[in-house]
């Protein structure tokens, strides 16, 4: 992934660290949405937020989406899932 996606990648890694604490390790072979669905099995109440965060991450990184505004939105979405600083 390109360096310009640094914040989006950091946010996704923050989600992955939370996932590991939940007992769901991220595997490099998983896509973001696939990983979000694995997390949903452990945290069903967070399913809509997990899916939204994964789709936004995919848009930012793979479809070259919303840039800085989207990265801030992704950060807020992941804050809502894992808590601030999580």
**What pLDDT sits at residue 1?**
42
Place of tokens 């991450």: 57
Q: Which residues contact 41 (CB under 8 A, 6 or more apart)?
A: 24
Residue 40 pLDDT: 96
Average of pLDDT values for 65-85?
80
Query: In whole angstroms, what is the distance from residue 3 CA to residue 41 CA?
Result: 32
pLDDT tens profile 2-42: 455 788 899 999 999 999 999 999 998 999 999 999 999 99
Question: For the segment 35-67, what is each residue's pLDDT rounded down to a tens digit?
Answer: 999 999 999 999 999 999 999 999 888 876 555
Q: Compare 78 and 86 and report the one with higher pLDDT.
A: 78
């Amino acid at each position: 992934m390109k360096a310009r996606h640094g914040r989006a990648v950091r946010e996704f890694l923050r989600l992955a660290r939370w996932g590991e604490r939940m007992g769901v390790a991220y595997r490099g072979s998983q896509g973001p949405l696939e990983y979000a669905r694995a997390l949903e099995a452990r945290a069903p109440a967070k399913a809509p937020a997990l899916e939204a965060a994964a789709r936004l991450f995919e848009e930012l990184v793979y479809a070259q989406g919303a840039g800085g505004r989207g990265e801030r939105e992704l950060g807020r979405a992941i804050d809502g899932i894992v808590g601030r600083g999580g």
